[in-house]
Amino acid sequence: MNAAATTTTHSHCLRCGRALRSAKSQATGYGPTCARHIRRAEVELTDYKPHQVQSARELIEDGAIIPLRSVVFIAVSTDGTETYKTAPNACSCPAGLKGGRCYHQLAARMLLAA
């Protein structure tokens, strides 16, 4: 998705805090069990377009959304040049500032549902 996310490595899981051992886990920021929980998370998708669902999944897989506080995350833009503060119901990206639902919000919902 972006260069910023692929060059960052994580030593601990962003979801549970356990040490990450594999290169894939270190690149994404999630261990295999947490990644499975995130993929299987039940989230209402009816308000989102298919490309937003795909972008949210890519954002998580790329490790480009990082927890900041309990329900607030830092998300990297698609081109990797900007970061946004996002939560399940708000985002500082252009779409979020206009009151729309963005894939950053969906990614936050997916992570919190896992």
Phi, psi angle pair for 80, to nearest 5°: 80, 10
pTM of the entire predicted model = 0.77
Residue-wise pLDDT tens digits, 4-37:
444 578 899 988 989 999 998 998 888 999 888 8
Could you give the 3-state DSSP secondary structure of residue 110? helix
Distance CA 66, CA 72 (A): 9
Q: Where are the domains of the chain?
A: 3-113
Neighbouring residues of 114: CB distance < 8 A, sequence distance ≥ 6? 15, 34, 37, 38, 40, 41
Of 54, 29, 49, 33, nearest in space to 107 by CA:
54
Q: Residues in the chain with pLDDT < 70?
A: 1-7
